[in-house]
Amino acid sequence: MNEDVSDGWAASAAAWITEQGEDGDYGRRFVLDAPMRARIEGRGFRDALDVGCGEGRFCRIMQRAGIRTTGLDPTGALLARARELDPHGDYRLGRAETMEVETPFDLVVSYLSLIDMPDLGAAIAKMVAALRPAGTLLIANLTSFNTAGPPDGWTRDHEGVSRFSIDHYMDERPTWLDWRGIRIQNWHRPLSTYMTLLLDHGLQLRLFVEPEPDGGDPDRNARYRRVPFFHIMEWQKPA
């Protein structure tokens, strides 16, 4: 089953599973995974909640770091794949905006899932509530200047040079993205929207980085460095 949503994830689940494989797509493998692993390994985290866990890939990465994990996602087919790859894992159907957590966690992770959440304020409030005092909220997200690009994004100017178009940056809005049989709804929000919501909960910013590619196709890496997709933030809940 799925949560009652119309964001394209249920229809796109099979194509998404194919796209990700077991190692993840370009952005995960060559940009985000290494710095995200660096934030979880060797820091004494005992248990983690992965909000928007999808097919469970980052849950499995955290388990290899010795962390007990719970994965939450609203798409049943993705959770079925997670359970197939991790039969003893704890994967639950639900949305960040309405989740109820019985026991708080040392670590809450949002790995490219905030952009999928229509009610960002409710989602962040629930994630903060799911943290123990002094707990860590680790976020990987699309950059706001990148999400302000569609529908134009990469185009060619009158001289044939590729350029990236940004428009209506301050206007929060849903956008539909299509690639390789996947059609899902993402949300564009200014960076200040994310920062203000997190600061309003009293969280303390401990890390903000825009990671560069490490490995992968050189041409794709050069294009990524022109218009990066991702940033990583780490926030701490007061003790």
- Structural domains in the chain, sorted by start: 9-145+189-236 (3.40.50.150)
Q: Is the pTM of this model over 0.75?
A: yes
**Range 135-159 average pLDDT:** 94
Contact criterion met (CB below 8 Å) for 153 and 178 = no
Q: For 65-121, how does the pLDDT look when each residue is reduced to its tens digit (9 = 90+)? A: 999 999 999 999 999 999 999 999 999 999 999 999 999 999 999 999 999 999 999
Return the exposure string of 6-40: e unless at least 16 CB atoms fall within 10 Å of the residue's CB, then b: ebbbbbbbeebbeebeeebebbbbbbbbebbeebb
- Paired tokens of 99: 């989740």
